[in-house]
Structure formats: C-alpha cells, structure tokens
C-alpha cells in the first residue's frame, strides 16, 4: 500500500515538473521571439541611419522640410543620453 502511495506521489511530482518545464520552454520561446523582433527593428533603424533615410519622416510626406526637426548625425543619435 505504501509503495502505491509513494509511486502516485512520485508520478504527481514528475507531472508537475514536466508542466513547469513546458511552461518555461514556452516562456523562453516568446522571449527569444521578442528579442529577435527587437534586433530586426534595430537593424532596420541602423540601415536607415546609414543610408540617410529617416523612417519616422518617411511616413509623413505631407510635411515640408521646414516642418521637420533636423536629422541627427549618427554620432549624435547613438551617443545621446535619451537613446541609451
């Protein structure tokens, strides 16, 4: 009888461990997807900076040049305290 009880408890612990492990794998997967998305967005911003394209102002063609802030140089953009 004791063997049956201990085996049942062991199976319950294994099931809990397996469920927790699966949740952790799902969590790590969503974190990895998020990080990949952030890297891709940063890569696109960097390429746009190098090519001299300002993606923020690309979507606003109705604004004249006088309505826009002057673009930051790469040095200003990547050393600004606001962007750290």
pLDDT band at residue 12 under the 50/70/90 scheme: very high
Structure tokens at 63: 């604004």
CA–CA gap between residue 29 and residue 61 (Å, rounded): 38
The 10s digit of each residue's pLDDT in 20-52 is 999 888 888 888 888 889 999 898 888 888 877
75 to each of 48, 57, 58, 71, 83, how far by Cα in Å?
14, 19, 21, 11, 11
CA–CA gap between residue 45 and residue 70 (Å, rounded): 17
CA–CA gap between residue 78 and residue 16 (Å, rounded): 47
Q: Output the pTM of the full model.
A: 0.40
């Amino acid at each position: 009888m004791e063997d049956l009880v201990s085996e049942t408890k062991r199976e319950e612990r294994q099931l809990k461990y397996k469920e927790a492990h699966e949740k952790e794998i799902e969590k790590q997967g969503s974190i990895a997807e998020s990080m990949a998305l952030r890297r891709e967005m940063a890569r696109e911003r960097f390429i746009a900076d190098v090519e001299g394209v300002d993606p923020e102002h690309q979507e606003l063609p109705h604004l004249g040049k006088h309505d826009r802030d002057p673009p930051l140089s790469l040095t200003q953009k990547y050393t600004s305290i606001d962007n750290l």
